[in-house]
Amino acid sequence: MTTQTEMPYLKALACSVVAFTLGVGALFMGYVLPSIQAGKAGLPELLALALVPGLVVGLFAKRSAKPWPLWLIIGAFLIVLVAVTAAHEALVSWRIANGLLK
């Protein structure tokens, strides 16, 4: 049985599962980020991009004095997901431009 303090993590990780599922669908349909490899090779990177925002939002929601409603968890997840994805794309572009990545 889960306690109320574990629920923010479960809700945020549920957002990660939904984002990963949508990302896998897009990956196999051919819609990918420029930095992610096509097909099965891109799955670990996609998993990391989906899990990091869930863990961050879950941590913030758990440490909050007031319980977060579901809409706030989803909104925060989307904001962190966009920020993490943008940072990932910028880092990969920088590494390619400097010859650190093939």
Lowest mean pLDDT among 6-10, 38-42, 91-95, 97-101: 38-42
- Confidence category of residue 76, pLDDT binned at 50, 70, 90: very high
**φ, ψ of residue 68 in degrees (nearest 5):** -85, 135
**Residue 95 backbone dihedrals phi, psi, to 5 degrees:** -65, -35
pLDDT of residue 14: 94
The whole-number average pLDDT for the span 4-20 is 86
The span from the CA of 22 to the CA of 68, in Å, is 24
DSSP 23-64: HHHHHHHT---TTSPSGGGGHHHHHHHHHHHHHHHHHHHHHS
Query: For 23-51, what is the mean pLDDT?
Result: 81
What is the pLDDT, as a whole number, of residue 39? 65
The pLDDT score that the predictor gives to residue 92 is 82
Residue pLDDT, tens place only, 40-61: 777 888 899 999 999 999 999 9
